[in-house]
């Protein structure tokens, strides 16, 4: 039966504490204290004796959240025990004493515990361990290579055609990498085993038809009245491909050096049996759709294109061919959770035992639960009233790429309602000040309308709890100072210009914020860098690090920062330096690696000396150091010219590489890296750089990766280098350099920030699209189907549902913007364009609440604690001396009456210190001054030697065991041995 939905916040919170025998689904908006309410419910269940701690299961989304939940539960138990009386007090005392018996874990951790308890029934090794990511990568790579070697002996159709496709644009993966990634994606979604359909498709006939259309268009465009005509230039790829196919049909493939272009990395040719090479033609036809000129053909000008050929005729033929090619691309196709689910679902005895064992199940962040996880929890709950308590917010469902979506949440909620459950809404938010809440309500009330087709959530307005703060703005629009390119033509914002200008504005605004004399505060204290978070939709765009310009702008102003989960670790210069040096150690015969190591930051030898060394001695080999430079090379390296004393540093560097090479397989990899860093004094070298903390942390993280490599079974120095090289083609997080609570601006993605809050939130990367133009996956949990694009191909099911999947991705983009905006407590800063909104960006949902009506855009008042804005224009520079128009927002405070009323301060770009230059050189030059008195140097050296000696002694003491640990059997054997020796000594004494 359907039960009522409780929307009153106070009634909902009371029901959570009192209605303990009813299954509850709590939809908690951002900042409403859902974790607190979950803890309150657990306390009441324990206090009333409905469950013991060992019978409690609490599932969270991350390990960090699980640890925090356990700490909060302990604090709540201690507080409740002190005030409890009657039967509740001993129950709470027992619960506190047995807190560690509760199952407070992630869903993956919980499933691992279940499998370890029932290894026989689950058919798993009782001592199984969960693979770490590096272990899983190595295992998969080994299996893939073995499969590929076998597959290449007689490649099946899919492999054969995949290998013929070439890479384009930002796709840096070659054919082998595409196959490897496709296999990995299939493995990750192996719990959705339903096969994809493949409709009948006559590939040969289709290619013949396309080739004929290709020849027709090539013929039409071959007789242009001018070879500079735009339409003629853009269809050049069509004519080249047509000419090459005609040559192959007549005399075979063009010979090397014939001048005929090749559109594929593998030369297209007729097969040995004389048949047409359909794979090659197919690959080049697909490549033609990616040709920039053909895909965006310009029309040119004039009615006539050539003699007896109209321009319209050519364009119609071009459009028809392009449409056919696009359709050709579409029609042509290219274990913990599973085991735990199968164990519970398929074994009735185990299922009955677990249902009796776990009396209450609490689930946090349920909107981020995938179908298998939901199935496991429902199987354990068994429709017992009050046994299951779930908390979630469909407005914050932003993990579709992990297989979760609002549809799964709705399905479970509807089933629980049908079995007598109740749905509660928590709306009072304790996080943001009222003006931010009103701004968010005004922005998203029209965007989230509860659409079951697009899986968009219903919007529930935030209700205020904190008092209003009238002393300073709560919402600031930060205009991009220079949003236009330099070209002529219509005034249009440029994505590149925005990406070049916005980071500088963000850095300048942060500089203004943290300046105490400006008077902006957080709870009465001046704003500090640690109060600020910059949130991104993405970290990488077409291989480029999106965060780097923002970091440069912050560093240029001397503001500390922390990049949380950045993906550019392997691309950092200091990491590449260490990787090059390790390659030189492993392969001393590889002169290029040795040269890279010598030139890199560790040795920093200049080009002039490297050139001279190579010219005079002929080699950079670490084992062929010339005798005159202290080497032991037995070869006659005739030396001429001046003495080579100035080249001694190169010889010393080569000698170090030689020593490290000799011992590399006799000591841990991390120790070799440590010696390399110590001998080159890399620690101080990296620290003296601008932002040296991050550089040094990244270098030390390489050593930590080496420890992890050996801890999980890595056995060779070369194997670690191979792993580093493989990692260089993937994204990896940079090493953290600041602990929580320490000073520094945080830079993180919205996904990383989910569940967190910050006093000041600045949204960045305005030009990032809200969603992809093409869907990458179609998921049908009820049919156990996951149709996804792999290796450049998309299955039939994905194409059938592509339109709705694109709309669902857009709906998630709206939710992502909601999550980002609701992280702010006191100040929300939104980037914007002064003349008009940027269309299609991920912050588009905020524009409705950010931009004032056209009629009032040119009038504004001064915001509280804001500097006097001298300009009436929120754009600093336009091309062609254009001026502000009626649609340009005037800097200042703009008031809105929507959603309870709020105001937005549009900042004046002229009030910021733009264009700050990044510092060059090193920091603390006073530490490396050459002209220092000798007694200062001697004193410093004495202190350093004393520190080294104390460090060595401390390490020696730490390496010796302070407590002897023995098993009982070992202890008994020791006692027996002592007794035997004593008895022997007594026998000797008696004999004497």
DSSP secondary structure of 438-471: HHHHHHHTTT-B--TTTTPPBP---EE-SPP--S
How far is C-alpha 18 from the geometric centre of its chain's CA atoms? 41
Q: Which pair of structure tokens corresponds to residue 79?
A: 């507080």
Classified as helix, coil or strand, 808 is helix
Rounded distance between C-alpha atoms, residue 166 and residue 988, angstroms = 88
Tell me if 929 sits within 8 A of 937, measured CB to CB: no
Give the pair of three-digit tokens for residue 317.
Answer: 């033929």
- Residue 300: the pLDDT is 58
For 548, residues 6+ apart whose C-beta sits below 8 A from its C-beta are 568
What six digits make up the tokens of 524? 């009465």
814 closest CA partner among 531, 418, 406, 209: 406
Of 178, 154, 165, 156, nearest to 281 by C-alpha is 165
DSSP E strands in 892-987: the ranges are 892-896, 902-906
Give the pLDDT score at 502. 96
pLDDT attached to residue 335: 67
**Residue ranges of the chain whose pLDDT lies below 50:** 1-3, 169-172, 254-275, 328-334, 634-641, 738-739, 988, 991-992
Cβ atoms 163, 266 nearer than 8 A: yes
- Cα–Cα nearest to 551, from 758, 746, 754, 752: 746
CA separation for the pair 62, 69 (Å, rounded): 11
Contact yes or no for 600/606 (Cβ under 8 A): no
For residue 257, the model assigns a pLDDT of 41
Tokens 């109060």 -> residue: 531
Q: In b/e form, how buried is each residue of 680-717, taking b as 16+ CB within 10 angstroms?
A: bebeebbebbbbbbbbbbbbbbbbebbebbbeeebeeb
Phi, psi of 760 (to 5 degrees): -125, 125
In degrees rounded to 5, what are phi and psi of residue 891?
-60, 140
Residue 507 pLDDT: 96
Quick count: other Cβ atoms within 10 Å of Cβ 377?
21
β-pairing verdict for 103-106 and 56-60: parallel
Return the pLDDT at 173: 62
Q: What is the pTM of this model?
A: 0.78
Token pair recorded at residue 639? 């030396």
Q: At what angle do helices 63-83 and 88-97 cross, to 10 degrees?
A: 150
Instruction: Report residue 517 as tokens.
Output: 């004399």
């Amino acid at each position: 039966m359907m039960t009522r939905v409780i929307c009153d916040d106070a009634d909902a919170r009371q029901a959570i504490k009192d209605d303990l025998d009813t299954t509850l689904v709590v939809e908690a908006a951002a900042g409403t204290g859902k974790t607190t309410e979950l803890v309150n419910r657990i306390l009441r269940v324990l206090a009333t004796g409905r469950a013991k701690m060992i019978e409690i299961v609490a599932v969270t989304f991350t390990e960090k959240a699980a640890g925090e939940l356990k700490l909060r539960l302990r604090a709540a138990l201690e507080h409740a025990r002190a005030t409890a009386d009657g039967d509740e007090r001993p129950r709470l005392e027992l619960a506190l004493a047995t807190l560690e018996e509760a199952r407070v874990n992630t869903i993956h951790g919980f499933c691992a515990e279940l499998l370890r308890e029932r290894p026989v029934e689950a058919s798993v090794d009782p001592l199984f361990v969960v693979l770490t990511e590096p272990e899983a990568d190595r295992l998969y790579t080994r299996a893939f290579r073995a499969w590929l070697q076998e597959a290449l002996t007689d490649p099946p159709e899919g492999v054969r055609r995949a290998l013929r496709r070439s890479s384009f644009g930002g796709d840096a993966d070659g054919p082998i990498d595409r196959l490897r990634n496709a296999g990995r994606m299939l493995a990750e979604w192996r719990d959705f085993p339903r096969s994809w359909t493949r409709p009948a498709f006559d590939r040969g006939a289709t290619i013949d038809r396309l080739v004929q259309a290709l020849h027709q268009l090539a013929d039409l465009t071959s007789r242009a009245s001018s070879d500079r005509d735009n339409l003629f230039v853009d269809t050049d790829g069509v004519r080249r491909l047509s000419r090459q196919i005609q040559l192959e049909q007549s005399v075979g493939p063009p010979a090397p050096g014939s001048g005929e272009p090749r559109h594929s990395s593998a030369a297209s040719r007729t097969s040995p049996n004389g048949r047409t090479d359909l794979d090659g033609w197919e690959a080049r036809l697909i490549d033609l759709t990616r040709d920039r000129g053909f895909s965006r053909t310009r029309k040119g000008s004039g009615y006539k294109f050539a003699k007896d050929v109209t321009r319209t005729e050519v364009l119609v033929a071009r459009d028809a061919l392009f449409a056919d090619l696009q359709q050709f691309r579409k029609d042509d196709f290219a274990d913990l959770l599973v085991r735990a689910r199968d164990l519970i679902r398929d074994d009735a005895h185990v299922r009955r035992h677990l249902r009796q064992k776990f009396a209450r199940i609490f689930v946090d962040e349920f909107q981020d639960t995938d179908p298998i996880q939901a199935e496991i929890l429902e199987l354990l709950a068994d429709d017992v009233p009050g046994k299951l308590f779930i908390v979630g917010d469909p407005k914050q469902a932003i993990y579709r790429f992990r297989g979760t979506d609002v549809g799964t949440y709705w399905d479970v909620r509807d089933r629980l309602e049908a079995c007598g459950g109740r749905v509660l809404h928590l709306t009072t938010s304790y996080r943001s000040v009222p003006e931010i809440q009103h701004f968010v309500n005004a922005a998203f009330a029209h965007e989230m309308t509860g659409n079951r087709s697009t899986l968009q959530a219903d919007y529930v307005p935030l209700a205020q709890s904190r008092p209003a703060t009238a002393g300073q703005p709560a919402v600031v629009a930060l205009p991009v100072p220079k949003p236009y390119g330099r070209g002529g033509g219509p005034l249009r914002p440029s994505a590149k210009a925005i990406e070049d200008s916005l980071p500088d504005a963000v850095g300048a605004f942060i500089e203004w914020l943290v300046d105490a004399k400006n008077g902006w505060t957080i709870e009465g204290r001046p704003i500090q860098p640690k109060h600020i978070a910059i949130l991104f939709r993405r970290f990488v765009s077409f291989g480029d690090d999106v965060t780097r310009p923002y970091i440069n702008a912050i560093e240029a102003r001397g503001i500390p920062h922390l990049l949380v989960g950045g993906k550019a670790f392997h691309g950092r210069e200091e990491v590449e330096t260490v990787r090059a040096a390790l390659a030189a150690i492993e392969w001393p015969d590889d002169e290029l690696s040795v040269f890279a190591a010598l030139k890199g930051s560790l040795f920093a030898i200049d080009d002039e000396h490297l050139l001279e060394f190579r010219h005079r001695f002929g080699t950079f080999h670490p084992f062929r150091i010339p005798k005159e430079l202290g080497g032991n090379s037995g070869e006659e390296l005739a030396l001429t010219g001046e003495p080579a004393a100035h080249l001694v540093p190169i010889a010393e560097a080569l000698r170090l590489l030689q020593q490290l090479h000799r011992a590399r397989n006799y000591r841990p990899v991390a120790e070799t890296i440590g010696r390399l860093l110590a001998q080159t004094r890399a620690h101080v070298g990296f620290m003296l750089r601008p932002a040296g903390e991050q550089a040094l942390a990244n270098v030390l993280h390489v050593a930590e990766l080496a420890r992890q490599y050996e801890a999980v079974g890595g056995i060779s120095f070369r194997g670690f280098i191979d792993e580093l090289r493989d990692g260089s083609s993937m994204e990896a997080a940079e090493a953290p350099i600041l602990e929580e609570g320490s000073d520094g601006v945080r830079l993180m993605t919205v996904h990383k920030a989910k569940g967190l809050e910050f006093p000041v939130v600045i949204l960045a990367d305005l030009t990032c699209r809200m969603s992809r133009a093409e869907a990458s996956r179609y998921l049908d949990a009820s049919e156990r189907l996951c149709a996804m694009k792999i290796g450049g191909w998309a299955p039939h099911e994905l194409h059938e549902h592509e339109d709705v999947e694109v709309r669902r991705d857009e709906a998630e983009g709206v939710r992502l913007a909601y999550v980002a905006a609701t992280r702010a407590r006191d100040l929300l800063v939104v980037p914007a364009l002064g003349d008009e909104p940027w269309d299609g960006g991920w912050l588009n949902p905020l524009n409705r609440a950010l931009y004032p009506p056209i009629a009032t855009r040119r009038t504004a008042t001064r915001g509280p604690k804001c500097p006097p804005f001298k300009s009436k224009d929120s754009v600093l520079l336009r091309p062609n001396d254009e001026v502000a128009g009626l649609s340009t927002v005037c800097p200042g405070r703009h008031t809105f009456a929507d959603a309870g009323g709020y105001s937005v301060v549009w900042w004046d770009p002229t009030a910021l210190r733009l264009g700050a230059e990044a510092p060059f050189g090193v920091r603390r030059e006073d530490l490396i001054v050459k002209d220092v008195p000798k007694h200062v140097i001697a004193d410093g050296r004495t202190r350093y030697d004393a520190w080294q000696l104390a460090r060595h002694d401390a390490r020696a003491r730490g390496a010796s065991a302070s407590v002897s640990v023995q098993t009982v059997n070992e202890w008994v054997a020791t006692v027996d041995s002592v007794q035997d020796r004593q008895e022997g000594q007594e026998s000797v004494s008696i004999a004497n």
